[in-house]
Amino acid sequence: MRLSDLLGADVVDQAGRRAGHVHDVRLVQDGPLVGAFGASLRLDGLLVGRRGIGARLGYNRRKMHGPLLVKLAVGWLFHDGRYVDWDRVRSVEEDRILISGSVDDLGQPSPSS
């Protein structure tokens, strides 16, 4: 599987409701040991949201230092960001990721740093 298979994919629950698109994936360095790097990067979950613009700029991370007006505007734009733990992923299809349960019980991402 490649990262590019996940990024941009539509996230859908089993009732067909959409949570949005995958903006990014969270990796945690606690997997099996690999070479000089140490613990490998384990796929922890998916950062999902409806709006595509600006997510790659990093503005949707909580601890953003910046002008207050920018932070407020961007905070509003990305308030619907959700986190999908990897163990809720049922299948990864072409452009679509099916998750268990309902999109309504997806939580918000915790701060990553």
Three-state secondary structure readout of 49-79: ECCCCCHHHCCCCCCCCCCHHHHHHHHHHCC
Residue 1 or 53 having the CB closest to another protein:
1
What's the closest the beta carbon of residue 60 comes to another protein, in angstroms? 10
Give the footprint of another protein on this chain (CB under 8 A): 1-4, 7, 23-32, 34-37, 39-44, 47, 56, 58, 61, 86-87, 112-113
Are the C-beta atoms of residues 84 and 61 closer than 8 Å to each other?
no
- C-alpha 74/C-alpha 54 separation (Å) is 9
Residue 3 or 104 having the CB closest to another protein:
3
Residue 100 or 104 having the CB closest to another protein:
100
